[in-house]
Amino acid sequence: MEGCRFLPKLNNEYANKRNSTYKERLSSLQNMVLIMFEHDTVLIPRETSWFGYYADGTFSPVLPTQQTALYMEDWIGLKTLDDAGRVKYLSVPGKHLGISRDDMKKHVAPYLVDKLPANIDEPVSNSRGFSSAWDVGANKVEQTDDVPLLSPFRIELNE
């Protein structure tokens, strides 16, 4: 990560500058859904979507999340959250952010609303009056079941 200033700061990697607020806020989440795309060519290694990474100074093997210093020393609260059973590690087919409509319904939508309606394609509002992320996604884009919902290369806005 030499030369990269953004990720080391977000990951609380600087031992003498650790921000306890990062850990407090992340570990206070109700759930954290980490999705790895099986054919990801943007995140290298793709396991970084689960906070896995190479051992220092190597490019092989990829360390599982639970064997990284970030996790073991709980720099950002990921271990605390995981120990409480609130981290979901999911793997889906596709390229970076190429999640299908079915996978979105199955893996993401349940965490965005308190109770899913019988027909998820109908608008859902929460108590603050905001539409659910699914409603925004389903209504703002031309979407067919075989096109990834979040693919930056296939979405056409209806505006």
Give start and end residues of each alpha helix (H) in the chain: 6-10, 20-27, 69-72, 78-83, 101-103, 133-140
Please compute the mean of the pLDDT values over residues 65-94 and round it to a whole number: 94
Q: Flag whether 113 is in a domain.
A: no
**Residue 156 in this model has a pLDDT that exceeds 60:** no
Q: Flag whether 129 is in a domain.
A: no
Say what the pLDDT of residue 120 is.
Answer: 53
How many domains, the chain? 1
Q: How many CB atoms lie within 10 A of CB 148?
A: 23
Say what the pLDDT of residue 50 is.
Answer: 93
Q: Flag whether 119 is in a domain.
A: no
Q: What is the DSSP letter of 126?
A: -
Record the pTM: 0.67
Please compute the mean of the pLDDT values over residues 78-86 and round it to a whole number: 96
Q: What is the pLDDT of residues 3-62, one digit of tens each?
A: 677 888 888 888 888 889 989 999 999 999 999 999 999 999 999 999 888 888 788 899
Give the model's confidence band at 115: pLDDT under 50 very low, under 70 low, under 90 confident, else very high: low
Q: What is the pLDDT of residues 87-102, one digit of tens each?
A: 999 999 999 999 999 9
Q: What is the pLDDT of residues 123-144, one digit of tens each?
A: 444 444 434 444 444 444 444 5
Q: What is the DSSP letter of 95?
A: S
| Range(s) of the domain holding residue 18 | 6-98
Q: Flag whether 43 is in a domain.
A: yes
Say what the pLDDT of residue 117 is.
Answer: 53
Q: How many CB atoms lie within 10 A of CB 33?
A: 15
Say what the pLDDT of residue 119 is.
Answer: 57
Q: Flag whether 20 is in a domain.
A: yes
